[in-house]
C-alpha cells in the first residue's frame, strides 16, 4: 500500500496505460499458436479438409488495406489535419484505427504461428501426397500472417500523436505551479 495518492508519473500508474504493441508479445502468441496447431495436426491431420492455396489471401488484403490507411493517417498527422472539423481526421477515428491495428497484429501473429506450425508438420510428412498438396497453402498463410502483423504495427506507428514523447526522451513540458 502506498502512503499517498498516485502521481501521474509513478510506475504503479504506468502499468495500466495502453502502450504500443510489443513484438516480443506477438512472437509469444505466434509460438503458442504454432505449437497448438502442430499438436492438432499431429493427432488429427486426417480429419482436416484439404487446404486450398488461396486460403490465406484475405490476410494479404487486410495487410494491404492497413498499409494504405497507415500512409493516409501519417500524411494527415504530419500535415496537422487532426481535429473534429471537415477535412480533418477525428481523434476518435485515430483511436479506432489503433484498436484495429492492435487486433490485426494479434490476428497476424496467430495466423503466422498457426500456419507455421502446420507447415512444420507438413514438412515432416512430405511422403504423403496430401501433405505435399497442403504445403503451398500453409506457406501462403504463414507469410500472410507475417505481412498482416507487420502492416498492423505500421498502422499503429502511424497513429501516434506528433507530440508524444518517446520513452527515450525526457518530458520537457513546463510544470504547472
Mean pLDDT of 37-57: 88
Query: Greater confidence, 26 or 46?
Result: 26
Residue 23 to residue 146: CA distance in whole angstroms: 12
pLDDT at 168: 56
Q: How confident is the model at residue 2 (pLDDT cuts 50, 70, 90)?
A: very low
Mean pLDDT of 26-46: 94
Residue 166 to residue 84: CA distance in whole angstroms: 26
| pLDDT over threshold 90, residue 145 | yes
Tell me the pLDDT tens digit for each residue of 6-21: 455 555 566 667 788 9
Chain center to CA of 146: 9
Residue 10: how many CB atoms within 10 A of its CB? 11
pLDDT at 170: 54
DSSP single-letter state for residue 91: H
| pLDDT over threshold 80, residue 164 | no
pLDDT at 29: 97
pLDDT at 85: 81
Q: What is the mean pLDDT of the chain?
A: 85
Mean pLDDT of 122-139: 90
Tell me the pLDDT tens digit for each residue of 52-85: 878 889 999 999 999 999 999 999 988 888 888 8
- Cα dist. 164→51, 93, 160 in Å? 45, 18, 7
Q: What percent of the chain has pLDDT over 70?
A: 82
pLDDT at 25: 95
pLDDT at 51: 84
Q: What angle do CA 77, 148, 32 make, to 5 degrees?
A: 125
Amino acid at each position: 500500500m502506498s502512503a499517498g495518492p498516485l502521481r501521474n508519473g509513478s510506475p504503479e500508474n504506468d502499468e495500466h496505460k495502453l502502450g504500443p504493441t510489443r513484438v516480443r508479445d506477438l512472437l509469444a502468441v505466434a509460438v503458442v499458436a504454432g505449437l497448438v496447431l502442430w499438436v492438432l495436426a499431429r493427432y488429427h491431420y486426417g480429419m482436416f479438409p484439404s487446404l486450398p492455396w488461396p486460403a490465406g489471401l484475405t490476410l494479404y488484403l487486410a495487410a494491404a488495406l492497413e498499409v494504405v490507411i497507415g500512409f493516409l493517417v501519417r500524411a494527415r498527422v504530419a500535415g496537422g489535419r487532426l481535429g473534429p472539423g471537415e477535412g480533418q481526421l477525428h481523434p476518435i477515428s485515430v483511436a479506432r484505427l489503433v484498436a484495429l491495428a492492435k487486433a490485426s497484429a494479434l490476428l497476424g501473429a496467430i495466423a503466422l504461428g498457426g500456419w507455421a506450425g502446420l507447415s512444420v508438420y507438413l514438412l515432416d510428412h512430405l511422403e504423403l501426397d496430401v501433405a505435399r498438396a497442403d504445403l503451398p497453402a500453409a506457406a501462403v498463410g504463414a507469410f500472410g500472417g507475417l505481412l498482416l502483423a507487420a502492416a498492423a504495427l505500421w498502422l499503429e506507428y502511424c497513429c501516434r500523436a506528433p507530440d508524444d514523447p518517446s520513452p527515450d526522451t525526457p518530458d520537457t513540458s513546463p510544470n504547472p505551479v
